[in-house]
Every structure is written in C-alpha cells, then in structure tokens.
Chains A and B, each alone.
Chain A
Amino acid sequence: MAIIEVRGLTKHYRVYQKPEGLWAALRGLFHRRYVEVQAVRGIDLDVEEGEFVAFLGPNGAGKTTTLKLLSGVIYPTSGSARVMGYVPWKRDNAYRRQFALVMGQKNQLWWDLPAIESFRLHQQIYAIAPEEFRRNCDELTELLGVRDLLYQPVRELSLGERMKMELTAALLHSPRVLFLDEPTIGLDVVAQHNIQQFLRHYQEHRRITILLTSHYMKDVAALCRRVVIIARGQIQYDGSLAGIIDRFSKHKIVTLQFCEGQVVDRLERFGQVLQVQQPKARLRVARQEVPRTLASILATYAVQDVAVEDPPLEEVIAELFHRVNSDQQAPDSAGQKVEVETVEAGRRRD
C-alpha cells in the first residue's frame, strides 16, 4: 500500500477584490466582488514508502497548497487523501507525530531564544524520550554542522544556519514522512549544497519518504528520482527527471564541427541557428527532423564531427511552464481564476 494516496484533491479559495476608487470602496461595503482561485484541481498521486519525490511547477501552481493539504493545515474543497493511513485534515495526534513540514520561507523556532530551547519544547510536544532526543539532536546538528550554534539566540543566526536549525527541529522526532517546501530558498550555493548533501544522506539511511518542492533544479537533480510537475493546479507530468525531456522537448541540439577551409553559410535552412563560431556551429532541430537534417548537412558540407544532444533540463522545463501558462485565458500567474460576483446585501436590480 502506498504511504501517500491522493485522489481527486481539490482546493478553491475565495479572494476579495479590493475595488479601486472612493465610490467603489463605498459600494464595497454592501456589495463585494470575489475571485475564486482554484489552487488545486483534482490531483491524483501515489507515493511509496522511501521515495524522494520532487514537485516542480511555476509560482502559484499549487505545489505548496498540496503540501499544506497533505499536512492537514488546510481543509480541501473536495477529494481525499491518506498519508500513512490517516486523513491529514483530521489532524490525529498519532499522524502529526509521524511527519514534519519544513518551509523555507517561514520559521517556527522562537526568535529570541537559543535553538536548543525550541528543541526542548519539541521534545515535550512530540513526547520524545530523553535518550532519543539527545541522540537525534547530536546527530542532526553534527551532520549539519550547527552544533556550536545551539546556544545562540536564533535571531543572531544567518539564514543558512537558521534553516539548518529548522531542519533539525523538524527531524528531532524521526518523522516517517517529511514535506519540504523550498528548503533552500534564498541560501547561498554552499549552504544549498550542504543541505542537499544532508537530505540525501539522511533519506538514504533512514529510508523516510520525502516530498520536496523547489525552484532550484540542482536540488531536484541531486535528490529526486521521481518528479511531479504541477501547473494550474493539475499534475502535468509524473515520472523520472530524464523522462521530462523525452516527453516535452520537441528539439535536439546538433553540434557540428566542419572541416578546415569549409565555407559555411545559410545554415538557417536546417534549423534554428544557436551559435556559429567557425568552424563550429550549434543548431536546434526538431526532433523528428534530426535524421533527415543530418543527412542533408552531411551531403552539403565536409563535416569532421557531429554531436546530437538533448537541450538542458532547465530550458525544457521553463518552456513547459511557459506553454502551460500561456494556454491559460487569464494572464495571471496564479492558479485558474474564475470570477464570481457575490452580492451580500442590496442586490442590484438589473
């Protein structure tokens, strides 16, 4: 049985539109306009125990909302979900003791106190046995290299150090499932790398299940074998990282090395010219055209070397996001919006 089972999960919000202008504001006292935001629209997902899954998607695609639904912080509009057999939004203590949520943009440690105080509080809240608490705390701070900072007030820590403390706090009770919402956001390269290393190491040894959202492809490439792409509140892709290219990239990059003295011109007729640096050239060629194009190039010029590659992953994904967004009718980046007019009092008679 899958450790996370999601069926038709949907979440809609109503957002009050602040009208502009004095008269509109006055009218807003009686008559309000809402916009319905469909943050998540019918997600189905199964995750097996021990998987490390990445959620990718443009801003406002519904990744974070999905994580919040799975951690029981918000109630869904419809659909069902089970994590370790529990319905998250029932917020059973037994469930809450077995998972953790870390958000890169929010912190839960007491700002004015040393981190160790917050950890002790966690010990009580999660009823962690003293011996286990000490062991976990030592291991985690050791691995993350923040052991010496335990007794400093959190407000004096750097962003990276604080994130490491947040991670430690989240893992003190040895959760079986971990939700990570952009854990490396705003961190420098070194700190990002540290945290990646740590997560990989920890996940490999403990075999816990991790769901990660991130904007950094490096995080994803380093950590996750499985990638779920969410856009406009729906799953657009679910599979391996490499599979994204096969599925979504319609092009290949062809690199040609011409023989000395070869006059090369009018390359455009073979494909989009990315770069020409005699005697080298890079072309973007539609995937199904590659064999034919190569043949005609080889027939036309004397070529020393040929390489056919996939375009870089970031590019493919950026293109995918762009395509998904431009399909949308509303130019807004947030999830699908549907205008709803709600008349609360004094309905106009048209």
Chain B
Amino acid sequence: MESAISACHRSSSFRQRLATWWVILRVALEERLVYRGDFALGTLMRFLPIITQIFLWRAVFDAVQTSGRADVAGYRFEDVVAYYLLTMVARAFSSMPGLASGIAASIRNGEVKKFIIQPVDMLGFLLLSRIAHKLAYYSVAVGPFALVFFLCRGFFLDGWPSWPVLAVFCASLVLGFFLGYFIEACIGLIGFWFLEVSSLLFVYMLLNFFLSGHMFPLDMLPGAARQWVDWLPFKYLAYFPAAVFLNKLAFPQMLRGLAIEVAWLVAFVLLSRLAWNRGLRRYSAFGG
C-alpha cells in the first residue's frame, strides 16, 4: 500500500518534472526566436571565421606543397578544413556561454540564497536549464550546420568513419558537454571566495581557446608541448571529438582518451560538489 502511494507520488512528481522541463525548453526556444534579426545574423555569421581559416590554410599549404610535402603534421589541407568544421560541432556541445559568470554574479548579488531556501539543487537546476538551452539551440542550428557540412562535404576525403568510431565520436561530444559544464561551474563557484572571477574566466578562455585545439589541430604543437597537452582536460572540449572523427587515433588510443576524459569529468563533478558545499558553509557563516 505504502509503496503504491510512494510510486504514485513518484510518478506524479516525475510528470511534474517533465512539465517543468517542457516549460524551460519552450521558454528557452522562444527567447531565441524573439530577436529574429539577431538570430538570423547570428547563425549565418557563425561560420564566417572558418572561411578566412580556409583561405589562410590554403595559402599555407600552397607554400608547403612547393617544398614537396603534402601534409602538415599528418593533416592534408582538406583535413584541416574538416577539422575546423568538426571543432565547431564539438564547441557547440562544450562551450557554456555565461555559465561561470552567471554563477559568480548570483553569488555576488545574493540570488544564490534562492537555492538555499528552495528544495532545488543549484548545479542540477543549472545543468537542466543548460541542457534545455542547448537543445533549443541545436533544434534551430541543425539547419545551418547541415547546410554547411553538405556544402563542405568535399573536404571530408575519407567519408564517414566506421560505426564504432562514430559511436565514440558521439560519446565524446556528450562527455564534452558535461566536462565543459562542470569545469565552468567550478570556476563560477570560486565566486564564493573571490568576488571577481571575470579575470580568472578570461584566463580559462585563453587556455581553452589555445589548448582545446579550437585554434589549430593540436598535432601541430612541437613534441614536448604535445605530450603535455595530452593529459590536460582542455583537448576534450574541441580537439578530441574532431580527431576521433578524422580517424587520427587508433582504437586503443580512442578508448584511452575516453577513459581520461571520464576521469577528468568525475574529478570536476566531485570538485564542484565540494566547492558548492564548502562555499555554502562559508556563505552562510558570513551571513550572505
């Protein structure tokens, strides 16, 4: 009897949660659609930097090829372009605009109290709304992305990768999302100790931009630096999924990469929990 009630209760609360989800999702979508001029420009412009990259690398490869080589660090010209396109996909999953600064701001202005008073876990809540935001974004961005990839299909010289590789690629994208979320959450939570995290965030952004492989394929780094970067979490935010897709890694290497990524993810989840608990204690001790 009791279990029946609790099951019933659970199911209704689950339904309620679904309803909440749906509302968050819908609002997020609508929000994106209100500024239509903005929106149209935004999705269109997102691919423009790649055009200049294509021309830059075409020119670089022109010079390289006259000296008799066909590739740079194992990348043909087409591979570089495909790489940049794939990092766009990876970044669409792993980038978290406004997350850390938002958390820090809510600590600064006391909005974080809401999460102390209400029976909602902040990290969980933000994760949910982030997922909703991302889904809303993908549902709109999938069009332009598909179009660009279709137009650029010639750059993918080796065509689609095999099914297992594709599976690893998808897994790395999803893991990349979570890794990106928890890294930024940790940075935001530092706001409990330092009021101004924007400078820290900027450092993170720089490192991220350079070491995630967003700027160039990490294989082009000189040997020693290359080894070093391999163990850092940044490369999973852009380089790793792209490299998997382009068959740059043998299967054992892929699995090793995934394992390291999961380890980093677990570390950042624990770290963010710890920071949240410690931070809250500190926050309430100082009376907000």
A and B touch in the complex (CB under 8 A): yes
In the bound complex, CA of A21 to CA of B40 (Å): 19
A-B contact number at CB 8 A? 17
- Stretch of B30-38, B163-171, B272-280 that contacts chain A: B30-38
A125 within 8 A of B: no
In the bound complex, CA of A202 to CA of B122 (Å): 57
In the bound complex, CA of A18 to CA of B29 (Å): 14
B46 within 8 A of A: no
CB B38 to nearest CB in A, in angstroms, measures 12
On whether the beta carbons of A22 and B36 are closer than 8 Å, the reply is: no
| Residue with the greatest number of chain B CB neighbours at <10 A, chosen from A21, A25, A28, A29 | A25
Interface of chain A residues 115 through 162 with chain B (CB within 8 A): none
Chain A residues contacting B34 (CB-CB under 8 Å) are: 18, 25, 28
Chain A residues contacting B29 (CB-CB under 8 Å) are: 22, 25
CB A345 to nearest CB in B, in angstroms, measures 11
Encoded as 1 (CB less than 8 Å from any A CB) or 0, chain B from 13 to 43 comes to 0000000000000100110011010001000
Chain B residues contacting A25 (CB-CB under 8 Å) are: 29-30, 33-34
Interface of chain A residues 3 through 39 with chain B (CB within 8 A): 18, 21-22, 25-26, 28-29
In the bound complex, CA of A218 to CA of B65 (Å): 85
In the bound complex, CA of A310 to CA of B36 (Å): 56
Chain A residues contacting B26 (CB-CB under 8 Å) are: 22
On whether the beta carbons of B30 and A29 are closer than 8 Å, the reply is: no
Interface of chain B residues 243 through 268 with chain A (CB within 8 A): none
Chain B residues contacting A29 (CB-CB under 8 Å) are: 33, 36, 40
In the bound complex, CA of A214 to CA of B27 (Å): 39
| Residue with the greatest number of chain A CB neighbours at <10 A, chosen from B26, B29, B30, B34 | B30
In the bound complex, CA of A18 to CA of B30 (Å): 10
In the bound complex, CA of A26 to CA of B34 (Å): 9
Which residue of chain B lies nearest to A29 when distances are taken between CB atoms in the complex?
B36
In the bound complex, CA of A295 to CA of B34 (Å): 67
Chain A residues contacting B36 (CB-CB under 8 Å) are: 28-29
Which residue of chain A lies nearest to B25 when distances are taken between CB atoms in the complex?
A22
Chain A residues contacting B40 (CB-CB under 8 Å) are: 29
Encoded as 1 (CB less than 8 Å from any A CB) or 0, chain B from 30 to 72 comes to 1001101000100000000000000000000000000000000
CB A203 to nearest CB in B, in angstroms, measures 43
In the bound complex, CA of A25 to CA of B36 (Å): 9
In the bound complex, CA of A21 to CA of B29 (Å): 10
Which residue of chain B lies nearest to A20 when distances are taken between CB atoms in the complex?
B30
CB A348 to nearest CB in B, in angstroms, measures 18
In the bound complex, CA of A28 to CA of B34 (Å): 8
Which residue of chain B lies nearest to A18 when distances are taken between CB atoms in the complex?
B34
In the bound complex, CA of A330 to CA of B26 (Å): 30
In the bound complex, CA of A53 to CA of B29 (Å): 50
CB A149 to nearest CB in B, in angstroms, measures 28
Which residue of chain A lies nearest to B27 when distances are taken between CB atoms in the complex?
A22
In the bound complex, CA of A277 to CA of B165 (Å): 93
**Which 7 residue pairs spanning A and B have beta carbons closest together?**
A25-B33, A25-B30, A29-B36, A22-B26, A22-B29, A22-B30, A18-B34
Extra pairs beyond A18-B34, A29-B33 (11, CB < 8 Å): A21-B30, A22-B26, A22-B29, A22-B30, A25-B29, A25-B30, A25-B34, A28-B34, A28-B36, A29-B36, A29-B40
Pairs A–B under 8 Å by Cβ, sample size 13: A21-B30, A22-B29, A22-B30, A22-B33, A25-B29, A25-B33, A25-B34, A26-B33, A28-B34, A28-B36, A29-B33, A29-B36, A29-B40
| Chain A interface residues (CB < 8 Å from chain B) | 18, 21-22, 25-26, 28-29
